[in-house]
Structure 1
Amino acid sequence: MGQRAKRTTTVTVDLGDLKAPWQAWCQNNGITPSHALRKAVRQAMDRRAIQVPAPRSRVTSKRERATARIELNLTTSELAALKKMAGYEGYVPTKWLVAMVRAKLTGQPQVGQAELESLARSNQQLLALGRNLNQIAKVLNTAPQNRAAFRVEVITELSRVIQAHTKKVSDVLRGTVERWHLQ
């Protein structure tokens, strides 16, 4: 009798205390331990593939007018759901689809009219708060005797954080309103 060729695709794993529960689980699920392990490895690898970030297009400051068209065929129920979702998020269906595509292509958030208004109000309030903090800091800097009551560096840092936040929100607002040129 000839010798069997050595298989190069096998893996030997010492399961220790897990061997008996593993075999019992496989038997209860009507699957061989090898098949179950292959399935688990595939699922783990598939999950990892999903977690790899998708390639994103860069957005430049060059404005581009949206003129390219695409036809999209949906079922009646899909169109109804699209209209409902778009309306709920403050969009007409076409603009909702465009926002979804842009968000996927660029990785940048897209906001509807309601969110735009909320972000603008938020920025106005944060800027007013920042101005008030600056006035407090100036008073404390001109009247050193009051420094014991307040920590100027905390107020200054809070003001810096607010300004950074308002810039970020302004960038989101500007990016949402303007048309983009993708590279």
Structure 2
Amino acid sequence: MKEAHFRIRDLTNDEYASLKNLAIQLTGKPSIAALAKQLILEKLGKNDHKLSKEKAENQGQRIEVRLQSPDLKELKERARQSNMTANRYLAMLFQAHTQKAPVLSTKEIEALYQSNAQLLRIGRNLNQIAKALNSGSQTAISTHLLNNIKDELDTHTEQVADVIRANWERMP
């Protein structure tokens, strides 16, 4: 793919504002470059590259929120703890609030992923134990092995409980 760069010089403030408004109408974004690209591609008969306004509206829009310094620090800290950006963290909180359903943070998804990986290992261990017991051969299933499986199950249960608790705390 190639790039083409160009400048539009000597625009008045009104012309610039009009171009931005036209860009929003035709592309869903206030980007004059996106508007220019769309118009050029349309002239070339390349309508398949056209960015529809509906598609742009579903991609996400920008909103600015002003916070006091202590609130901003708290937001950034909570986002960091959840392995998320401040913007993504705010979007997650809003989705959880409007949907009245839990929306998981990156950290919570990672915890559930790890928990499921542990469950798979536990399942394999249990299958090996069942196979050994069903084969009729003499087995040396130790209490230690069973305690390891119990410990893994306890860890899994704690991780899931932490995720559920975190979601309850976020819910209004």
Q: Common fold, TM-score beyond 0.5? A: no
Compare relative contact order (CA 8 Å, sep 6+) and give the higher one, 1 or 2.
1
The two structures have a TM-score, normalised by structure 2, of 0.41
Larger Rg: 1
